[in-house]
Amino acid sequence: MSWPALITSIVLTLLLAAPFQWFMGAGRATFVVRQPDAGALWGQLSFLSGIAALAWSGLFGGLALDAGPLGALAVMAAAVALYEWARRTVGPQRLHVGLSGRVPGAVMEDGPYRWLRHPFYLAYMLAFGAMAMALCSRVGSIVALVNVALFVGMALHDEATLARSPLAGAYAAYRRRVGVLLLLPRRARERAHGA
């Protein structure tokens, strides 16, 4: 590999890995974590797996400056933007980390929560999708699929926890209005017509 190609690969690797590092660092200020906490551990391992897959492929396989990594950078930017929108909406230490079995003080319906019930999980899934797109490899696809499955499982666990909590009635009404990971077209029409 030539020096320009190696430098390009390293820069792309660092740019693509940065969101996973951001999720790890910003999450400490965003979520309440009680030690030991399985959700926090799984989250950290998840983000480290993304960083490791990118580092391995970027340093040993090389990431070329083509449509894959450039499109992946755009999706990564969207993931970080969604994460930050959700983080700024929630504020510091108002949500518990996934799998904790704890619930917030109220159902969140502001910011991205008006359109989707799990903006943080969607941001993570977008980041892993972008990683798979950039790597175009079996390893990248497997790491992405495993982590998407993890975050879907965490979202389902959160849903079940809220359904058994004092917020169950308010959350059931919220679920009828808002999709799991996106505002479904039918629900958008219902919302526009005041149903």
pLDDT category of residue 172 using cuts at 50, 70 and 90: very high
- Per-residue model confidence as pLDDT tens digits over 18-29: 999 999 988 878
**What's the mean pLDDT in 100-129?**
88
Q: Which domain holds residue 101?
A: 3-192
State the Cα–Cα distance between residues 138 and 58, nearest whole angstrom.
14
| pLDDT over threshold 90, residue 98 | no
**What proportion of the chain, given as a percentage, has pLDDT over 90?**
42
Rg (CA), the chain: 18
pTM of this structure: 0.88
User: For all residues of the chain together, what is the average pLDDT?
Assistant: 83
Amino acid at 163: A
State the Cα–Cα distance between residues 121 and 169, nearest whole angstrom.
23
Residue 121: closest CA among 32, 17, 188, 23: 23
96 or 116, which is more confident? 116
**What's the mean pLDDT in 181-186?**
56
The CATH number of the domain holding residue 58 is 1.20.120.1630
- Report how many domains make up the chain: 1
| pLDDT over threshold 80, residue 100 | no
pLDDT category of residue 3 using cuts at 50, 70 and 90: confident
